[in-house]
Amino acid sequence: MKIQSSDPRIARLETLPGELLYRPETGDYLGLSRLSPVIRYLDVPRPVLPLPRPRILRILVAIANPRGFEPLDLEKERHLIEKAWASQSCELVMLEKASAHALRRAMTEKRCHVLHFMGHGGFDAEEGVGQIYFETPEGRPEPVSGQALATKLKRFPFFATGLLERP
């Protein structure tokens, strides 16, 4: 199903979290079934060109586990990522206790091709937007909306357009 925001009768549906679509007669959340996955994407009016894979793929792994949330086993996830990429031509750049400012600094210092976020996410019902939680230097949650993160990444062409340099 595709929601067309040009239709005012259903435009509000775009603001609702599709992950919460629920079938009352069966008690099932639709997004939990492999037969009805929930996929969010933006229609982009320009063609997406295939990007060449760099000789060494550089992945920036932003790790955040702020206080006030259920602790995540980020050490295990980190180990699994390192194991999964060990035999590849890949460099993992780990950003511990990632704040939005530290993410910006890391992206400025080293050109990365992929951003992998390890942490908590949520939905701000008041604003109607999804967000992820970075971590302040004091360990507090730092919510960043999807739109704010996209704006932050847009300023770095190696994420947005795949500008790939040879190391």
Kindly state whether residues 4 and 78 are assigned to the same domain.
no
Instruction: Identify which has the larger pLDDT, 43 or 152.
Output: 152
- Highest mean pLDDT: which of 57-66, 126-135, 156-165? 57-66
Long-range contacts of 138-141 (CB under 8 A, 24+ apart): 139/66, 139/67, 139/97, 140/66, 140/67, 140/68, 141/66, 141/67, 141/68, 141/69
Please indicate, yes or no, if residue 165 is contained in any of the structural domains. Answer: no
- CA-only gyration radius of the chain, Å: 18
Contact predicate 94/166, CB 8 Å = no
* Whole-prediction pTM: 0.65
Same domain assignment for residues 31 and 75: no
In this predicted structure, the answer to whether residue 162 has a pLDDT above a threshold of 50 is no
Is residue 52 a part of any domain in this protein? Answer: no
133 assigned to some structural domain = yes
- In which band, very low, low, confident or very high, does the pLDDT at 7 lie, cut at 50, 70 and 90? low
Do the domain assignments include residue 51?
A: no
Looking at the fold, whether 92 and 139 belong to one and the same domain comes out as: yes
Question: Which tens digit of pLDDT belongs to each residue from 45-95?
Answer: 777 677 677 888 889 999 999 999 999 999 999 999 999 998 888 999 999
Residue 139 lies in a domain: yes
> For 3-17, 55-69, 134-148, which range has the lowest pLDDT when averaged over its residues?
3-17
User: What is the phi-psi region of residue 5: left when phi exceeds 0, alpha when psi lies from -120 to 50, beta otherwise?
Assistant: alpha
Quote the pLDDT of residue 10: 66
In a domain, 147, yes or no: yes
Number of domains in the chain: 2
What CATH number is associated with residue 117? 3.40.50.1460
- Same domain flag for 65 and 140: yes
Same domain, 14 and 83: no
Give the residue numbers spanning the domain of 24.
Answer: 1-44
Same domain, 147 and 111: yes
Higher pLDDT, 156 or 95: 95
